[in-house]
Each structure stands twice: as C-alpha cells, then as structure tokens.
Structure 1
Amino acid sequence: MFTPANMRIAHIYWYIIAAVVGTLAARRLIDQARIFIEKRRASQQQESIPFRPQNSVIQAYDAMIAVFREASYPQPFVLTGTITKYFTPPSLGKCLLLLCYWTMILIMLWSNVILKPGSSIYGYKWEIVGFRAAWVSVTQIPLIYCLSCKINVISLLTGISYERLNWLHRWVSRTLFLTVIVHWSYFFTEWTLADFVQMELQMMPMVKYGFASWGVIGFMVLTSFGFFRSKIYELWVFQHIATAGLLLWLVHTHVPSYAAYNVWIAIGFVAFDRISRILLVAVRNLHIFRGRKVLGANLGYSATVRQLSDQHVHVVIDSVDFSWKAGQHIYITIPRVGLLENHPFTISNTFQSPASIDGKQSIELYIKVRSGFTRRIHKMCAGNDPGRSYRAFISGPWGSSPSLDRFDSLVIMATGTGISYAIPMFESAISCETRIRRVSFVWVIRHWYQLEWFKVRLNENFKKAKIQNIDLCINIFVTEANLTLIPSHGSALPLNDEKEEITSHSMPDADEKQEIRQRSVSFDQPRRLSSESSDAFTVLHGRPILDTILRPVIEGAWGETGIFACGNASFMADVRNYTARESDERAVHKGTGAQALYLYTQTYGW
C-alpha cells in the first residue's frame, strides 16, 4: 500500500545526494579551469595576481564561496580530557552540513505519515510510519558504504579525499541507527497493542534478522567512537570489516526483494573499491610497469628504520618507482612487525622530477611512537644507529591537497609530527612552478632536538626562496618547559621564555627585533637576508600568537592567502577560529577589495 510513495522518497534522497555531489564536482571543474586560465595569463603577464577577480561575475562567485568558507571555519569548542576529547563536536561547517542532512531525513521520515482519526487508513497509523522509516533507513546504506571506501565515486568526482569524508560516514551511520529505531519501534508498538508479538516472530522470520541488523549497527556505532579506534586499532579494523559484511547479509535477508537493490549498490561500491585497491597494491609492490622481477628481494620495497628519539622513528623506503604529491600519505605493511597490519603515514618529502638516473626515489616518514605497530618497530630498531632494514609493502599514495597555483601568499603551520605534512607543502610552495610571493612557515615543537631533523632542508629551501624572489619567514617555537640551553653552531646560548616577545598584535619595531635576535638562538631574524647569511630561521621559546604570524601576511597579500595547518585538535581550533574572525573583519570579496582567505587543516587522525 505504501511502497510507491516510499520508493519516491528514496529516489528523492538520491537526487539530493547527486545534486550536492554534482555541485561540488562543478566547483572543482571551475577551479581547475581558472587555474589553467591563470597559468596562461601568467605566461603573458608576469605581474598578474592569481585568482584575483577580473569581473563582476567572478567576484560574485568568489564572494559566495567566501561566505560559505567563513561560516564553515569556526570550531565551537575543544575538549582535551583523556576521554572527553573524543566528544569534541565537529567544526561549525560540518555541524551545518549535518543539520541540513538531518532536516532532509526528518522531512522524508514524517511527511504525509501522521494520520488523523478521520482518515480512511487511520488503522494503519503505526505501519505507515514504520514502513516509511524502513525506506529512509535502507536507502542510506549505500551512502554509508560508499563513504567508507578509499576509492569511491564521491572522491573521484569532487576531488575530496576519502579521509576527509570519513567523519560523514560515521555520522550518517549514527543517523541510520536512529531511523532504524523509529522503524522497529512503531511496528513493535502495534504488535504489542494487538498482543501479536510472539506470533509475529513465528510467522515472519525476517523480523529476527531485522532486530539482528539493528544490533549490529548499534555495535558498529558504539565501537567506532574515537576511544576504541585509538586503543585497539588493529582489532577494531578487523571486527569492523567483518561486521560490515555481516550487516549486508542481515539486511538483504530482512528487506523485501524490491528493496534489496540498496544492498547490491552497497556491495558494488565495496567491490569497486577492493578490486581497485588490490590492483593498485599489485602495481606498486610487484613493479609491473617497471620491468623488475617479481621474486625475492624485488618484491615490495626495502625500508630502513632508525630511532630518532625515544618518541620518534624515521623510515626511509628506497627505490620507489611511482610519483606522489605534497600532502599525500601511504599505507605501509612490514610483515616482520605486523603481518596483517596496515597503517597510514604522511609522506614527509616531495617527489623530485626529474628523478635520479634510474628513475627511483625514496620516501621518508617521520613517525610518532604510540602503541602497537609504532611501539614494536621502535623497539626492534633500538640501539642500531644506522637503522635496520625490513621488507615493506605499500598502498597508495592517498589523499589530495588544494593546488598552490591559486595563492599569492601562504602561511604553513604545524605542531610536532605535523611537520610531515607541512614541509612538503612548504617545499612545493617555493618551487618555480608557483607564483607565490610570500610564505610564512611556523613549526611548534616540544623539544629543541627535533629541529635538527629538518634544519638542513629548511636552510636549503630558504636559499631556493631567495632565488625565486619569495619573501620567506620561518619561525620555530620550542615549548619545552625546562628549556635552558639550545646548541647552535657548536655553541650553547641561554634562552629564556620568549612569550612576551610575540604577544603584541603589532609588528615589532627595529629595537624590538634586535632584542629578539639577541635573546633567541643564533639564527638570523626571519626576514629577507643578505647573500652572506646562511641561516634562515628564528627559534623562540614559548607558543606562537596567531595574530603576529597571520596578520602581516594577510594584510600584505595582493591575491588569495592560503593557510595550511596540521597539528593537534586544540591548535587546529585556534587556527580555525582566528581565520573565521579575520575573514569576517576583512569582509573578503564583499566589496572592500580585500582578498580571500583559504584554510586547509589536517589533524593527527581521522
């Protein structure tokens, strides 16, 4: 009786999803087209400013995008407790998207199903809601499985990488759990009122499979909270994949044949993802297109692992025969450390083209030691300064970052091992292929010795920036509480807490700069240096004040300013809220002539 109307609701759901994905895909095409046009114009007009609106149509489009960005950036609050941190709400943009999704679900769930006593079908007042909730529930299943895949249709069309969709996968799953409660509770209420529960279970075995499906969904939702994922990651992955397969079988057994297409669509998404990933892993580790033998030591890659400290590990994967982009990550498996374990790590170096004579390059990973896989690999290379070699297998590269061609100025910030994401982006920004005029690079570390890992690269890239005529400022902030001495050029200078030096909202004058130079480590002040200068950065003790870092770059920008940040949740929240306030203050692209702010953040996990 209710099937035609409910199927129409299910189709509308997917029309809306397709419209949203299509809009994001169209925006991606527009941005790529503008980048292509900007590059052509740059070849003819060297002084042109990238992504600065040239007419009223483009300005209106950019103004609309700027308004959406400004609304999406803020982070309401961040919880930092051992347990409470897992209950930190999403950013405002994600909350607004969820609000829109829940509004759509509520409208579909309750429209035209609340019957009045005078209705000719009032006797079906419980069933009409139960059937509608069933369709609203089952039609969400393909989206949930699509969002769980690394290679999925949404990412392919929109360019949004799978890990940035993972939060939506979890929230849609939680929404499904609630709509299923509406589904079974209305039917169960009717059975209870008619004293029909026992007979219903005997006559309709599919009901048992329905309750089992709801139980599996509840179990998956509960175990998918961040606490369980972080504490027992390997076990969680195994059971999550197993229960996801079990859920599809239970749902297929429970739903009528005319609704089973939802299950088969979900299976199609998963099959496409798994087959594509298997082929990708085979290509990467069997070296199919490189003419290498697929036997013995040539299978996979040689990975050298060495300790950097009691908390960090450095991994170098040799003779890599594929390319990658800055900001991407790989999954790595080392059978001697964990046979079935596959863990993601950000690639901390850039792909160089042209490569060496044989076309092979190395991938570097800087890994924070936690528990499980990273703790075991740390112990296995203990006491071996040159490091130990292991056979490793790679999946990837994965992920995507915005093109740097659109920016006039850039701010790159990282805390701790977030440098693995930040420094490849930094090195890409000062390449000859971009038109970036100004770059500010900020790294916040707990211990000064971490600076030694990237000191040479920072100096080398400072020299490249000078050649490219890029105004570069590099600041390193050391937050170690008991820091008293920092070696520099074979000597040690006292370093006091420099927090008061960076709290001012205005730029320091010449005398203040000289005072900071004298009280900091013996590196030159972060500004354009003379040709005789060899060191490119300043080290300060304390935490950075965002206004002194971001405002000079933003106010000096001729075009769009990109802000890239990678770090812990608290730092990301500060960056998000500051960018939102600054965007509102400047009224970007709203008639003042001030240019847009683009924020892109990465956290330590997803």
Structure 2
Amino acid sequence: MSMDTTPDNVNTPYGAALCGVLAGFFILLAFRRSIIAAISCYNNRRRYRKLGNNEELPPTKSLLLYQRLETLVVNKFSWTPYLGSFVLLPPLGGILIACTLVSTIVPVLILNVDLKINSDRAGFISLAMIPFIFATTGKSSALVLLTGISHVRLNYLHRLLGTALMATTTVHMSFMLTSWWPFKTFYASQVATPKVHWGLVAYSSLCFIFFFSMYPIRRFCYALFVSTHFLFLVFIVAVGTHTPYAMRYIATGIILYIINVFAGWFVNTYLTRARVHILPGECTQLVINSNMKHEAGQHVFICIPKISSFEWHPFTITSASNETGRVELHAKVAGNYTRALYSFQDGEELTIFVAGPYGSPSSTLGTHDTTVIIAGGSGVTFAMRHLKELASMAIENNLKHVQSITFAWCVRDQTHLSWFREDISDCLQAFKQSSIPVSVQLYVSRQSSEACEPSFDGDSRVELYLGQRVNAKQIVHHAIYDRQSTTGVYVCGPNSLNASVANSIARYSTWNTIIDFRKEAFEY
C-alpha cells in the first residue's frame, strides 16, 4: 500500500504533533540565525557608508543588547558536571534540551491512550522521529546551513533522537507482546505473522545500532561503530514492510539523507596528496597540498585509503589562513587510526580524501580586549591555530584594542612541547614587534629527572611549570578580574579541562562582564 492510499489511523495526529514540535525547534534556530544576520548586515552597511570619513562606528545598540543577552545565557548553560577527570553529564544546556525532548514525547505518548490496548501509539511516535534522525546525520547537513549550528552539536541531537527512538520502539514492542502473552493461542498466531517478523527484524537491527553506538565503542572501536551503522538499511526496509504508515516518514528521511550525502561528497570533498612528518612524543604532522580557504577554529575530515577506505576522522587545521598552497594538521596517537598514521615513514607521501573545512569559525577572534587560549595535550592544535591567527593580525597591525593575550598549554611529557616550539617562538616575535603583552604558560604534568631544555631562548614572557597542571579557574579569574572590558576565552583539551573552563566561565559571566567563550571537543 502506498503512502497516498494509507487510511488514517487514530494515532496519526499524535505523530504529526511530534513532527510539528521538532520542526518548530529547528525553525526557531533558523529564525535566530536570520535575526543575527540581519542585524549584522545592517551594522556593516552603516560602517561602509562612513568608510570615506575613516569613522569607526560601534555596533548598533540592538545588536549589542542581543549579543550580551545570548552570550550570558549560553555561558551560564555551559556549566558541566564533572568529577576529577570524568565528565558525568553533558553541559547544562544539553541536559535542558534532553529534558525538553522527554517532556515533548511523553505527553503525546500517553495522552488519551491505554498503551496495553493501543501500543501502536508508541510506534507512531517512533516513526515521527525518523526524518529528524536522518536530517541530523552527516557533516554537511542542510540543517547546518539553515541554523548555523555546527555538525558536532547537531550530532548531539542525532544521538538524543536515536536514544528516544530506541526507548519508544521498546515501549511499542513490550506493550504489544505483554498484552498478547496471557492468550497463548492468540500470541502464537500473531508472532507467526510476517508483520510481526518484520517488526522484530527492525527492532533487532535498531538494538544493534544503538549498542554499537555507545561512547566506549565509538571512541575505541570506531570502525565497528561505522560498519554497524549500515544496519539502518535493514531497519528502514523492515519498518517499511512492517507497516505502510512508515513510508511517508522513511521517504522524507531518505531524501534528507541523500541531500546530506551528496552535499558532503560533491561540495566539500576532494582528492589530494599529503606529506607525513613524524614528530617526537607520538605526534604526526600532515601537510596537505590544498588552497582551501579556512578560518581559525575550523577542522577537516580526512580519509586515508592506505589505512581504511571508509573511516573519516576530524583534525583541526593548525596552519594560519595566510599560508597558501598548504594545510597543516597534527595528530597525537590516541587510537588505532592515529597509530597507523604515526607508523608511516617520515617524509612519505599519501593520497588522501579531504572533506571540509567544517565547524563554526572563531569570527570574533582579535576583537576582545583580553584573549585567553587554554589547551590540554593534543588540543593544542585548536589553540595553536588561534595563536597563529592573532600573530598574523599583529603583524598587519589589526590588534589595536588588544590589551593582553594569555596562552596556556598543559602536556604530560616535556617532549610534547617540541611539536610547536618553533611556531610559538615565531608568534612571540610577531607580538614583540607590535608591543602586545603576551604570557605563555607551559605546564608539564609529569615530573622528569632529565634536565629542562632552554625555555625559548630565555624569553621572560614564557613560563615553564613542571609537575603541575593548568589551573583554568585561576587563569580565567585573572583575565576578567577588575576589568570593564571584553574577554575571549578559547579552550580545547580533555573533557575535564573543557568542563573546568566552562564552569569558570559560567561562574564569572554577568551582565556587565562579557566573556566570548569557545570550546572545541570532537564527539565520536
């Protein structure tokens, strides 16, 4: 039976209601982006009209008020519960979104129904989420363009919706089977029907996808996670055969998925060559031949067929935007893929696929009075790119309003400092020429019996701390203490470091203290 000839069902309005709420959420995000773009466009037009008089116009009052309000709300909801080195839950904003999703699903699930009699209600609620699960997949989702939200944050929504789908399908199946169970003959006759067989196949495939999508498997067995995700083909075929009401939802989801796949492959993906450089401390530098236009805070996905033909992994771009003809990436050994990359010979050339750049650029970099950049371990790739960009701005004399820059990097072993020793020295030289106060704080958490290497030719702006970890709270507090100025804070590192900085930002953010906070963490 086609989707056009499927008769109405008493549960259809409830599935449609959930679709409407979810669609309304994304429309609201798109509207938010449009408002910001309109105000910014108006402000830029005002500036351009005054360029002939060399006047610098401040942003409009409406833009400042909106930015101040949104920044304050976002910073407060970035508070993250963690214990030691373990992050227990998502940020407060993520928890709020999860609670909102639950409070949306539960009413349409239980309103005017006895699930023991009509367990199909849960089935229709499950079907309603399918298009949105497909829409939030991929790195080049249409929702990224419409809402301005990065694919990393959309992936969080994808996982939330996937978890909700798993829960509602379990409710549908369990209530259906338990209502049949007291009637043995009826139970046996129903379980023997093709409709139930296809339903069990769909549920089993969903269970496999859900189990192999858990964080430990995503983190340490990424290939297994990716391969089991192809069971979604089994799921949609089984669901479409199980009930004709699924066709409209599946068709919509497939169309959205195809758009995302085509956008990813034919818009941002290309084949190129890259050279491998092996660095101390199990770090690999990858220099890609590319004229890609990129900004600070962005990353690319790469696929190296010599390692795996279907695995794509994200790496932050560490080269500055003014370095044309090449794009630099750095990868610390953290799993099987990066270990295989580190096993190549120094200077070896590889053929790779590159997709990107992705991620929201740090468009406000260099506009704050105070800039704080904090990195932990290999998170320095994100931090180093921002420091390079600031150095480039300093050379071009575009940091007139900057009062201070703090760069803090914590590593386990002192050999890791060699990854960017020359780059940090070059940046310090650029800042020295422009007379911008800079503080570089390097932390080595492991005590070493070896003699310390010279600290950047005795540059007094560089401080080396052995056997210590970066105190994010102290750095953030020092940056904003007793200052009526704007502050930009950028962090990338282990989850515990990110959470510590986020909690400090949430604590010190007030209506009169503007902190532009940017946190980078790749979620697998």
Instruction: Give the shorter-chain TM-score range.
Output: 0.7 to 0.9
Aligned to 1:601: 519
Amino acid at match of 2:275: T
DSSP-derived class of the 2:231 partner: helix
Are 2:298 and 1:328 equivalent residues in the alignment?
yes
Q: 1:455 aligns with which of 396, 421, 424?
A: 421
The alpha carbon displacement at 1:569 in A equals: 1.0
8 Å CA contact retained: 2:47, 2:57: no
8 Å CA contact retained: 2:208, 2:228: no
Q: What does residue range 1-150 of structure 1 map to in structure 2 within 5 Å?
A: 3=8, 6-36=11-41, 41=47, 54=61, 59=65, 61-62=66-67, 64-78=69-83, 80=85, 88-114=88-114, 126-128=116-118, 130-150=119-139
8 Å CA contact retained: 1:475, 1:540: yes
Q: 2:159 aligns with which of 146, 170, 179?
A: 170
Aligned to 1:420: 381
DSSP-derived class of the 2:181 partner: helix
The alpha carbon displacement at 1:310 in A equals: 4.7
Change in 2 beyond 3 A, CA 1:213/1:475: same
**Deviation by residue 1:120-153 (Cα, 9 ceiling, x = unmatched):** xxxxx6333x121111111111111222222212
Stretches of 4+ moved more than 6 A in 1?
A: 42-51
Q: 1:368 aligns with which of 329, 332, 339?
A: 332
Change in 2 beyond 3 A, CA 1:449/1:48: farther
Q: 1:487 aligns with which of 423, 428, 453?
A: 453
8 Å CA contact retained: 2:142, 2:260: no
Change in 2 beyond 3 A, CA 1:461/1:47: farther
Aligned to 1:513: none
Q: 2:203 aligns with which of 208, 214, 234?
A: 214
Aligned to 1:548: 474
The alpha carbon displacement at 1:58 in A equals: 5.1
The alpha carbon displacement at 1:559 in A equals: 4.5
8 Å CA contact retained: 1:149, 1:269: no
**Aligned equivalents of 2:335 and 2:409: distance in 1?**
25
The alpha carbon displacement at 1:263 in A equals: 0.5
Q: What does residue range 237-276 of structure 1 map to in structure 2 within 5 Å?
A: 237-240=226-229, 242-256=230-244, 258-276=245-263
Amino acid at match of 1:568: P
Question: Cα RMSD between the aligned structures?
Answer: 3.0
Which has the larger Rg? 1
Change in 2 beyond 3 A, CA 1:486/1:172: same
Gaps of 5+ in 2: 1-5
**Aligned equivalents of 2:430 and 2:412: distance in 1?**
28
DSSP-derived class of the 1:397 partner: strand
Change in 2 beyond 3 A, CA 1:572/1:558: same
Change in 2 beyond 3 A, CA 1:378/1:62: closer
Change in 2 beyond 3 A, CA 1:46/1:31: farther
**Aligned equivalents of 1:439 and 1:34: distance in 2?**
29
**Aligned equivalents of 2:435 and 2:10: distance in 1?**
64
**Aligned equivalents of 2:47 and 2:139: distance in 1?**
36
**Aligned equivalents of 1:555 and 1:605: distance in 2?**
33
Aligned to 1:316: 287
**Aligned equivalents of 1:435 and 1:142: distance in 2?**
49
The alpha carbon displacement at 1:210 in A equals: 1.1
Q: 2:313 aligns with which of 343, 362, 367?
A: 343
Q: What does residue range 410-559 of structure 1 map to in structure 2 within 5 Å?
A: 410-430=371-391, 431=393, 432=396, 437=402, 438-466=404-432, 470-482=436-448, 485-488=451-454, 523-526=458-461, 537-541=462-466, 542-555=468-481, 558-559=484-485
8 Å CA contact retained: 1:410, 1:436: no
Gaps of 5+ in 1: 115-124, 286-299, 356-360, 490-520, 527-536
The alpha carbon displacement at 1:31 in A equals: 3.3
Q: Which moved more, 1:338-347 or 1:551-560?
A: 551-560
8 Å CA contact retained: 1:413, 1:566: yes
The alpha carbon displacement at 1:429 in A equals: 3.7
Change in 2 beyond 3 A, CA 1:191/1:104: same
**Aligned equivalents of 1:67 and 1:76: distance in 2?**
19
**Aligned equivalents of 2:514 and 2:434: distance in 1?**
24
Are 2:357 and 1:397 equivalent residues in the alignment?
yes
Amino acid at match of 2:459: D
**Deviation by residue 1:494-546 (Cα, 9 ceiling, x = unmatched):** xxxxxxxxxxxxxxxxxxxxxxxxxxx863343xxxxxxxxxx3222222222
The alpha carbon displacement at 1:340 in A equals: 3.9
Amino acid at match of 2:257: V
**Aligned equivalents of 2:255 and 2:399: distance in 1?**
40
When the two structures are superposed, what TM-score results if normalisation uses the length of structure 1? 0.76
Change in 2 beyond 3 A, CA 1:152/1:135: same
**Aligned equivalents of 2:148 and 2:111: distance in 1?**
34
The alpha carbon displacement at 1:574 in A equals: 0.9
The alpha carbon displacement at 1:6 in A equals: 2.8
Change in 2 beyond 3 A, CA 1:234/1:466: same
8 Å CA contact retained: 2:76, 2:505: no
Q: Which moved more, 1:466-475 or 1:36-45?
A: 36-45
DSSP-derived class of the 1:325 partner: coil
The alpha carbon displacement at 1:446 in A equals: 2.0
**Deviation by residue 1:367-413 (Cα, 9 ceiling, x = unmatched):** 111332322232232xx4xx222222222222223421664432111
Change in 2 beyond 3 A, CA 1:64/1:19: farther
**Aligned equivalents of 1:6 and 1:435: distance in 2?**
62
Are 2:296 and 1:277 equivalent residues in the alignment?
no
**Aligned equivalents of 1:255 and 1:41: distance in 2?**
58
Change in 2 beyond 3 A, CA 1:66/1:369: closer
Count the aligned residue pairs: 508
Amino acid at match of 1:22: I
Change in 2 beyond 3 A, CA 1:310/1:62: closer
8 Å CA contact retained: 1:407, 1:561: yes
Amino acid at match of 2:61: Q
**Aligned equivalents of 1:391 and 1:63: distance in 2?**
46
8 Å CA contact retained: 2:81, 2:89: yes
Amino acid at match of 2:234: L
DSSP-derived class of the 2:26 partner: helix
DSSP-derived class of the 1:373 partner: helix
**Aligned equivalents of 2:419 and 2:387: distance in 1?**
16
**Aligned equivalents of 2:7 and 2:518: distance in 1?**
46
The alpha carbon displacement at 1:556 in A equals: 5.9
Q: 1:161 aligns with which of 139, 142, 150?
A: 150
8 Å CA contact retained: 1:74, 1:577: yes
